Every structure is written in structure tokens, then in C-alpha cells.
Amino acid sequence: MRLAETVVVRASTRFILPLLAALALAPLAGCDSLNPFDKGEVYKPEVKPDLPAEKLYNDGLAALEDHDYEKANKQFKEIDKTYPYSQWSKKALLMQTFSHYSAKEFEEAASAGKRYLQLYPADPDAAYAAYLIASSYYDVVLDVSRDQERAEKALVAYQEVIQRWPKSDYAKDAKFKITVLRDQIAGREMDVGRYYLQKRNYTAAINRFRNVVSQFQTTNQIEEALARLTEAYLALGIVSEAETAAAVLGHNFPESQWYKDTYALLQKKGVEPKENEDSWISKAFKTVKIF
């Protein structure tokens, strides 16, 4: 500490200490206004009784009917806070998931649904919670020109519904949504593949089309994927694979316009469809993958 600072500290101490001593010795004037207990009064904190869980729950349901999702969530969260791990808390958590979903608060809905599955994995309503989680991802899926992370999450979540609760009321719709999502993800692969094909980056394009053929044979993208593979392999001079892709396309979709155009392309090159059973393309179609 510098000399100037030392002087200031000492000066401050010299004035503050006598002042504190004086305050300590001074009589407490006006005590009547400062001490609430000097007249024998006892302070009693106001305690509000907890509302019954049933009333909170019914109030939440009423708010849901009025589409007041904020109020509904407040009621259901109060149950979870005041009556944790009770049957009412379990019911409230499920309705909280539904309320968030109805309000299009999809992240919150997925979070609440996951918590429900963690706490009550064997509960009869667990299938519904899992379905709401999947739907929370599904409803925010972007078009094929964008990243499909949400579509992939939704796909996995719907698959869980089918695998764990195949006889539930939600399995049928989950299967339909899986079909839509698989088309969506395959469409994204095709979109990127076409981009690479246009840029004459044939290897990168083939990798994308290969994903569709290997993983999404049952989607509506498969015909074009086989046709584009033929085009890309021909551009690289890999004639055998081009012939195989065209042969598989013709065998599975003989009336397809994609096959007609592909056949014409091969004829221009002086070749024709011919399947090589050792090709990865041929092997991929021996086992059709649905999920």
C-alpha cells in the first residue's frame, strides 16, 4: 500500500471508530416503533393451506378446455411441486406434456414426456407420453432443403412407440408417420446427391444415392436414386455398377419413367441393363429394410 493510501485509511478509521462507539452507547429512541413484540404481540406468519390435488387437477383440465395452456401448466406444475410422486402428480405430468404440446411448446412437451417415461416406464399411459414426444419432433420437421435432425429424432421416437407398444392405439399412426419421415429423410439425401451430381462430384453424389438404396428402399425416392446411380457410375466409367443399378430399377419398376430414361441413357453408351449379383446394389435389395 502506498503512503497516500495509508494516510487515507488511518484517517477514515480515526473518524469511523468513535462514531460506531457513540452509536453503540446511545439510547434507542423510539423503540416503540421499531420493536413489534414489545407490547406482547406475537408475530404469526400467514400460512395458506395447500389446495387439494384434485381441485388443482380439475382446474388444470378446465383451463385446457378454455385453451388457456399457461394456466393449465401452472396448475399441473403446482401438483407436481406440492404432491410429488403421488398418483395426482403422475397424472398432472402427463397432462403437462399434453398442455405444452397443445400450446406448440414442443421442446417443453418433449422434456416433460421424457421425464414421465423415466419415472413411469411401465405405466399404461407411457405409450401416450412416448407418442407425444415423437409428435413434438414431427410437428417441427423442416422441408427437405434443410437439415433433417428433427425428422431423425421423430423417426427414432415413433419406432420406439411401435417396438414397445405395438398393440397400443398410437402404433398405427406411428407407422404412418414413419413412412412420411423416411420419405422426408430420403428426400434430403436425394437433394444433396443431385447437388453433387450437378457439380460433377460423382463420388459424393454416389454416397448420397447409396444411402437411399441401402436404407430407404421402400420410400418414394428409390426409383430416382437407382437412376441417378446409373448416371453417376457411367460418368465415372464404372459400367458394371451402372448396368446393375439399371437392371435392379427395371426389375422392380419396369413401367417407371425413370427406368425408361435410364435404359435410353445406357443405349447411348452402347450397353444395357445387366445385374451383377455381387454388386452392393443387388445385395441391398435382397433384404428390404423397413425400419
Band of pLDDT at residue 2, cut at 50, 70 and 90 = very low
Q: DSSP per residue over 165-233, as a string?
A: -TTSTTHHHHHHHHHHHHHHHHHHHHHHHHHHHHTT-HHHHHHHHHHHHHH-TTSTTHHHHHHHHHHHH
The residue ranking higher by pLDDT, 258 or 20, is 258
Largest Cα span, the chain: 114
| DSSP code, position 40 | S
pLDDT above 70: percentage of residues in the chain: 81
Q: Quick one: average pLDDT of 140-155?
A: 88
Measured CA distances, 72 to 54, 62, 270 (Å): 14, 8, 70
Please state whether the predicted TM-score (pTM) of the whole model is above 0.85.
no
> Among 255, 258, 195, which residue's Cα sits nearest to residue 230?
258
* Cα–Cα distance list, 146 to 153, 188, 195, 222, 278 (Å): 15, 8, 13, 20, 35
pLDDT reading at 107 higher than 60:
yes
Residue 36 DSSP SS3: coil
The gap between the terminal CA atoms of the chain, to the nearest Å, is 74
pLDDT per residue over 178-210, tens digit each? Answer: 999 999 999 999 999 999 999 999 999 999 999
94 C-beta neighbours (distance < 10 Å), count: 21
What is the per-residue pLDDT for 127? 97
DSSP type of residue 237: T
- Residues with Cβ within 8 Å of 230's Cβ and at least 6 positions away in sequence, in order, are 242, 245, 246, 249, 262, 265, 266
Per-residue pLDDT tens over the stretch 13-46: 333 333 333 333 344 344 444 444 455 555 455 4
pLDDT of residue 85: 87
Domain ranges of the chain: 202-284
